[in-house]
């Protein structure tokens, strides 16, 4: 048997592993803290662990970081890393600094099998699930790299969103220990409210997440009726809106806040017409009457080559937001971040073979639309917060 990758374990998993080495649980706690809180990768540097344990780890364990292919820094402070996960696959991780938080957007799969019409990852198809270790390695690497860069010992990443490449609830087995590591006080100590799983609506796994690890949930709605949602989010054919809404209602009592978030990608002429506002309002009102509070997050569509789609214009997005607000639903419009480095939602393609093309595309974009490169103020050092 090969050496175990310690990034694959949540604390219970690490305790079981240590037990197999003949070590007590408190040793696992020490080791877990070294890895996740201090970013240590070298067992010999873990000076308060007994020499005998360090030697055992040396032969039985590894700590396998991901290989960085590239790092791009956007004008607004957003950072995108491309990681090599082997076999020609790569995944992307995005850090988004804001005045009061630092958010890391993490990938769960190389590619995605759901195949949403408007998503670059979906167009790429499915390659494979990431392991727990590959999911956690994105946070481990970003957190400790940024601490070194900002010369701080305080936490830099306060929020995690599982909104990178892939459908997290189609990689459930690997996802849950990764979430537990993010939440663990001996790990990253993130609050449940600040860890968000975004899903296109894998109904049975929403039910399980409510029990196993009830973090904040964002549901990718994108259409107010089954006919349109079937086209935009093909998973809707398997789990149509009434089943999805029922799963949302039963998740809510387990959620860390008293609402769920619905994401709605604004596509010109496709899902942004007055009839869609009407249907969406009716859908949300019926859910409210059934006891469910929702917040709407409108995401202006981020274009990618060959999508054949365009983003709704500003007045349409505004009209949508205002109507929903008037109906009493908290609605926000997601600010596009890092668009000069193709780091925005749905632009993550992460194909190693594609990266030359991607960087040429970026240069072309810079040349053709310098206005797109927003001069958003760069918050030099995101405050660590709880």
Q: Which residue is nearest to ligand SF4 (CB)?
A: 122
Give the range of 45-53, 119-127, 179-187, 349-357 binding ligand SF4 by CB under 6 A.
119-127
What part of residues 286-345 is at the interface with ligand SAH (CB under 6 A)?
299, 301-302, 345
What part of residues 307-366 is at the interface with ligand SF4 (CB under 6 A)?
none
- Pick the closest to residue 167 from 134, 136, 126, 138 (CA basis): 126
Nearer to ligand SF4 (CB atom), residue 8 or residue 92: 92
Residue whose tokens read 């067992």: 43
- Pick the closest to residue 140 from 48, 33, 278 (CA basis): 33
Binding of ligand SF4 by 382 (CB under 6 A): no
Binding of ligand SF4 by 133 (CB under 6 A): no
Contact 343, 80 (CB under 8 A): yes
Q: CB 158 → ligand SAH: shortest distance, Å?
A: 19
Write the DSSP string, 79-95.
Answer: EEEEEEEETTEEEEEEE
Compute the distance between CA of residue 29 and CA of residue 12 in angstroms, rounded to an integer.
9
Query: Cβ contacts of residue 194 below 8 Å, gap of 6+?
Result: 101, 158, 159, 160, 216
Binding of ligand SF4 by 116 (CB under 6 A): yes
Compute the distance between CA of residue 79 and CA of residue 304 in angstroms, rounded to an integer.
19
Contact 252, 292 (CB under 8 A): yes
- Pick the closest to residue 78 from 386, 379, 383, 334 (CA basis): 379
Give the range of 72-80, 110-118, 310-318, 331-339 binding ligand SF4 by CB under 6 A.
110-118
251 binds, among ligand SF4, ligand SAH, none (CB under 5 to 8 A by kind): none
Nearer to ligand SAH (CB atom), residue 147 or residue 194: 194
Binding of ligand SF4 by 187 (CB under 6 A): no
The catalytic residue among 18, 23, 92, 213 is 92
Compute the distance between CA of residue 68 and CA of residue 81 in angstroms, rounded to an integer.
7
345 is catalytic: yes
Residue ranges that bind ligand SF4, judged by CB under 6 A: 112, 114-116, 119, 121-122, 166-167, 200, 220
Residue ranges that bind ligand SAH, judged by CB under 6 A: 116, 118-119, 163, 167, 198-200, 220, 263, 265, 299, 301-302, 345-346
* Active site positions, annotated: 92, 345
């Amino acid at each position: 048997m090969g050496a175990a990758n310690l990034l694959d374990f949540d604390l219970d998993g690490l305790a079981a592993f240590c037990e197999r080495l003949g070590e007590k649980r408190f040793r696992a706690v020490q080791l877990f803290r070294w890895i996740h809180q201090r970013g240590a990768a070298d067992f010999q540097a873990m000076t308060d662990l007994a020499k005998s344990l360090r030697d055992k780890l040396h032969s039985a364990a590894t700590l396998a970081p991901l290989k960085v292919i590239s790092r791009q820094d956007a004008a607004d402070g957003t950072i995108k890393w491309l990681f090599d996960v082997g076999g020609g696959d790569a995944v992307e991780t995005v850090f988004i600094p804001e005045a009061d938080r630092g958010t890391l957007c993490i990938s769960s799969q190389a590619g995605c099998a759901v195949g949403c019409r408007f998503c670059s990852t979906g167009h790429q198809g499915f390659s494979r699930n990431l392991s727990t270790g590959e999911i956690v390695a994105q946070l481990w690497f970003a957190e400790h790299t940024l601490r070194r860069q900002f010369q701080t010992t305080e936490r830099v990443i306060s929020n995690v969103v599982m909104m990178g490449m892939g459908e997290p609830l189609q990689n459930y087995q690997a996802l849950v220990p990764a979430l537990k590591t993010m939440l663990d006080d001996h790990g990253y100590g993130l609050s449940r409210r600040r860890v968000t799983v975004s899903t296109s609506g894998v109904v049975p796994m929403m039910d399980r997440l409510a029990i196993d690890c009830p973090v904040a949930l964002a549901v990718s709605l994108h259409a107010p009726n089954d006919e349109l949602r079937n086209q935009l989010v093909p998973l809707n054919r398997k789990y149509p809106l009434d089943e999805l809404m029922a799963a949302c209602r039963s998740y809510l009592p387990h959620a860390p806040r008293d609402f769920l978030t619905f994401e709605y990608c604004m596509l010109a002429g496709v899902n942004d017409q007055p009839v869609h506002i009407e249907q969406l309002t009716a859908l949300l009102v019926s859910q409210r009457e059934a006891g469910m509070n929702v917040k709407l997050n409108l995401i202006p569509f981020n274009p990618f080559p060959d999508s054949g789609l365009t983003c709704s214009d500003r007045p349409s997005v505004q009209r949508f937001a205002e109507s929903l607000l008037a109906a009493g639903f908290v609605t926000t419009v997601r600010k596009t971040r890092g668009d000069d480095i193709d780091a925005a939602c749905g632009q993550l393609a992460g194909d190693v073979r594609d990266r030359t093309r991607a960087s040429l595309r970026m240069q072309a974009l810079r040349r053709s639309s310098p206005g797109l490169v927003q001069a958003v103020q760069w918050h030099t050092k995101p405050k660590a917060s709880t």
